Amino acid sequence: MKEERKDALLAILEAHRGEAVSGEEIAKARGVSRAAVCKEIARLRAQGYRIEAKTRSGYLLSAGDAPFSARSVAKYLSGRRPVAVEVVDSVDSTNNALKKAAEAGEKEGKVLIALRQTAGKGRRSHSFYSPESGLYLSILLRPKISAADSLLITTAAACAVAGAIERVSGKAASIKWVNDVYLGSRKVCGILTEASVDFESGSLAWAVLGIGINLKTPAGGFPEEIRDKAGAVFDAPEYSEEKKSRLAAAVIDGFFELYERLPQRGFMEDYRNRSNLIGKRVKIIRLDEVVGEGTVAGIDDDARLLIRTPDGALEPLSSGEVSVFIS
């Protein structure tokens, strides 16, 4: 079944959500046979839509939780920014898929969401655990900024994710420099920005922003290697497909609102206020080796972490990562 056919039928059922629409009425509106309507209904049911068949009344779309889809996300988007959302069942990495699309000339604003990833990516080629219990999305960008300012994309995304989590879940979120979002002491989101540089201009030819959010604890729990630090946005009873759709839309809208004013760095104050590192003693890590230590004094407008070293110097950190000393 073509996607536009499914969308047209859903539009009719959703317009009458909670009440029955006759097969004859649907067939007439769609310009198809009653048999074709039956086939389309069967396919929608197979995808998880709860559609009842009422004798002598027609088809009724349940008023309950609708399956997650591009349409369910679009329902909550503000529409202020043109984006093209696609949802797929599975992909190796949403970032990989959009990097290929970028090289092929795809326009800015393409958003790819996968229900699961088979080879999710974290920073420094680490894997990113990506079961069905998460939200995995990537956004294709063609930013008019220098390669030196590319860190701002990740920073803005972290603010957008933290704000979206708070609006949808009601829980306070913090940020661990540079790309992790936390609820309490548990990491619930990782962010990875990959880009291609136009060496003639020194600016970015394209960037792909990848965001992975743990929505609920997966069946069997998190893998042992991340069990002590990974968390989820929702407890099992709190979770719904509608909240997943709302969160995806809130992340997309929130990011583009900040992205449009990226050079002005207006979001940096929010980023600093959300930091869970300022004032803490940390180890500086590069290529999995501890190369220094100090106390986090702040974050500058270029999103660099400011480390006060033991000898009193202030060292700006723009790459690598840090680990908090456990007292």
Residue 319: what pLDDT? Answer: 85
Q: pLDDT tens, 79-114?
A: 898 899 999 999 999 999 999 999 999 999 999 999
pLDDT tier at 11, thresholds 50, 70, 90: confident
Cα torsion at 125, 199, 149, 314 (round to 10°)? Answer: 80
Tokens of 218: 């997966």
pLDDT at 63 > cutoff 80: no
Q: pLDDT tens, 155-167?
A: 999 999 999 999 9
Half-sphere exposure of 287 (CA within 13 A, CB side): 1
Residue 2: what pLDDT? Answer: 47
d(CA 87, CA 248): 11
Residue 326: what pLDDT? Answer: 67
Residue 294: what pLDDT? Answer: 96
pLDDT tier at 126, thresholds 50, 70, 90: low
Instruction: Tell me the whole-structure pTM to 2 decimals.
Output: 0.82
Backbone angles phi, psi at 74, to 5 degrees: -60, -30
When comparing pLDDT for 17 and 196, which is higher? Answer: 196
The full set of domains in the chain, from first to last, is 3-61 (1.10.10.10), 70-274 (3.30.930.10), 281-324 (2.30.30.100)
The stretch 212-235 carries a mean pLDDT of 92
Q: pLDDT tens, 33-62?
A: 989 999 888 888 877 678 888 888 888 887
Q: pLDDT tens, 230-289?
A: 999 999 889 999 999 999 999 999 999 999 999 999 999 999 999 999 999 999 998 889
Do the beta carbons of residue 89 and residue 120 sit within 8 Å? no
Q: In this structure, which amino acid lies at residue 190? A: G
Do the beta carbons of residue 174 and residue 182 sit within 8 Å? yes
pLDDT tier at 1, thresholds 50, 70, 90: very low
Q: pLDDT tens, 163-213?
A: 999 999 999 999 999 999 999 999 999 999 999 998 888 889 999 999 999
Q: pLDDT tens, 273-306?
A: 999 999 999 999 988 899 999 999 999 999 999 9
Long-range contacts, 28-37 (Cβ 8 Å, 24+): 30/5, 37/9
Rg, the chain, Cα only? 22
When comparing pLDDT for 130 and 246, which is higher? Answer: 246
> What's 325's DSSP letter?
P
